[in-house]
Chains A and B, each alone.
Chain A
Amino acid sequence: SSTLAFIEATRDGKVSIPSMSAIHAAQKLKNPITAIIIGSHAPGIAKQLQSSSTDLGLQEILVAEDATLNTYLPEVVTPLLQNVLGTVDKYTHFVMANSSIGKNIIPRLAAVLNYQAICDVTEILDATTFKRPIYAGNAIATIGSQQKLNMITVRPSSFSITKQVQKNMISPNIPIKQVQTSEVNDDIKWESDALLDNDKRPDLTSAKTVITGGVSLKDKEHFESLLDPLANTLNAAVGATRAAVDGGFCDNSLQIGQTGKIVAPDLYVAIGVSGAIQHLAGMKGSKVVVAINKDADAPIFKVADYGLQGDLFDIVPELTEKLQEMQS
């Protein structure tokens, strides 16, 4: 038994935080772990992993240094991984984060190799038994798999760093091996990307704190002027309800809910959010939920650990100010 864990690179050549969940999940599988990194930053990231101050449990690192892999096109990455996984009998598990990259690649790769992927895993019970949410988190399924190769994506917030084991200083360097890159694919061309201007803010699906605004914020101006300072203070990501998105308060990609993003942060602050089933489905995995709402009967209070009933236009600035005072 052996696990291959896929590590994603950020644009500036660092290990992407969500993709570390692939290594943490691999540790739970209790098999020897090989990491694979692709793209032009791969050798640099391999060195970062080698010199990690904590013991990641890696036995080997595979590197495919090739700039054409930087955009993680599934048409190009699939044949490469097919080669790595399909030609040796070594691996029993292949793990990726359930990121937009993992979701795009794993099912395609699994189908080509004739496996059923197991996606958005939130708990690993043992090497063949997994839990994953269905019906937008309204139910949890336990899945058994007797496949020769289990290809799984893991929900990053469920596999964040828990315990860090100090590395044994005398352990030898983890060997780095080159793997063959893929040929080009003419059928698809990556043109450009537009990342939201949130360099200082964590990504919504992996943030430890999420501040969500609902339709009671009235408009885009109030949404931004009230939520941004609070989010900056707490180093939080900003989310929104479907009603707020429909009202044009913010970008579509910030929508949390059954048809939007699913989040499970340590702290979830719902501001002016009524708590429709559709929305609750996207955040019910959150550890501590705070609700701030005028309406005492709002369903959000039923799922909140702490509720503040009152005018958000008074409460939110007060909260932001007091948190800032605390930090300074």
Chain B
Amino acid sequence: MSKQTLRILTPIKRVLDPQLKPRINEVTKSLDLKNLKFSINPFDDIAIEESLTIRKNLSKAIPVSTHAVTIGSPKSESILRTCLAKGVEKATLIKHDAKDDEASSSFEPLIIAKILKEMVKKEDIGLVIMGKQAIDDDFNNTGQMLAGLLNWPQITNVTKLEFLDATGDQLKVRAVREIDGGNETLVMKLPGLITVDLGLNTPRYVKLQNMMKAKKKPIEILDLKETFPQVDLTSKLELKAVEEPAVKKQGIILNSVDELITKLKEEKVI
């Protein structure tokens, strides 16, 4: 891509706070998330931090803009506010009339990816950087799907990222990604898509004064159905039930290594 302005888009998701366990209603076989604390998906927080780092490092060579976007109910405004407080320049809520407050997580990754594709085109985005997965549905899909729909290159599970010669004609990144048993290094031309893993950076904390200032900053609100009427919002999968994982029997405290070895032999695991 040419080097006018590098526009970075970071899609973020509001999820159940990672410190909390979801409650499961065993009668209705569904999740009960009412009155629980929600926060930004931790991997998305890393992506936001990286977008800010890129802007800081590249801004001498080319202008860079950062933009956070989320899809959901007005409750998702709070995570956008946090991004603004951290220094992200633009924040967009793609609002949809959710039947319940937590329905933002009910769209499948494919639907999210289709909406984000429209957003990428609308905003002339050159780099999408996002979390490798959301810690609620654990799909690990949206980034790869978005890259596929855009026919862009993708580097997923990135733990190290650098720009190569930002003065050249075409922007390129080199990234190290986690794979089973190690890592691999790839070089990608922009426009492209990155999903981030732990270890890429440590997200900053928001200072209270910045949080206060961010309260006055504008958040762009787009109505999902009015803005992107072309996107099919029908689910392809049906969530039939949510249940607790099988409960283990109460364990035994042993007195010696010999007892342990005997038990492990009985279990046929050694």
Contacts and interface: CB of A to CB of B under 8 A. Distances in A.
B180 A203 contact: yes
Contacts of A285: 245
Interface size class of chain A, counting residues whose CB lies under 8 Å from the partner chain: 35 or more
B145 to A, nearest CB: 4
B117 to A, nearest CB: 9
Interface string B139-150: 111111111110
Interface string B163-200: 00000000000100011111111111100100000110
Contacts of A169: none
B153 A140 contact: no
B83 interface: no
Contacts of B149: 111-112
Interface centre among B24, B108, B135, B138 (most CB of A within 10 A): B138
A282 to B, nearest CB: 12
Nearest to B199: A252
Interface stretch (B5-13, B86-94, B154-162): B154-162
Contact of A194 (B21, B140, B182, B239): B182
Nearest to A292: B260
Nearest to A255: B198
Interface residues of B, number: 78
Interface stretch (B51-59, B63-71, B222-230, B250-258): B250-258
Given A103-B156, A209-B269, A188 B188 contact: yes
Contact of B252 (A191, A259, A306): A306
A140 B244 contact: yes
A191 B186 contact: yes
- Which of A112, A129, A138, A145 has the most chain B CB atoms closer than 10 A to its own CB? A138
Nearest to A82: B148
Interface of A: 18, 71, 74-75, 78, 99-101, 103-112, 114-120, 129, 132-147, 185-196, 198, 203-205, 208-209, 234, 252-253, 255, 258-260, 266-267, 277-278, 284-285, 287-291, 301-309, 315, 318-319, 322-323, 326
12 contacts: A75-B154, A108-B147, A134-B242, A142-B241, A188-B189, A189-B187, A194-B184, A196-B181, A205-B180, A252-B178, A252-B199, A319-B257
Given A144-B237, A188-B154, 8 more contacts: A107-B140, A108-B147, A139-B242, A141-B239, A191-B186, A277-B19, A305-B249, A319-B261
Interface of B: 16, 18-19, 21-22, 24, 31, 42-43, 108-110, 113, 135-149, 152-157, 159, 174, 178-189, 192, 198-199, 235-245, 248-249, 251-254, 256-258, 260-261, 263-264, 267, 269-270
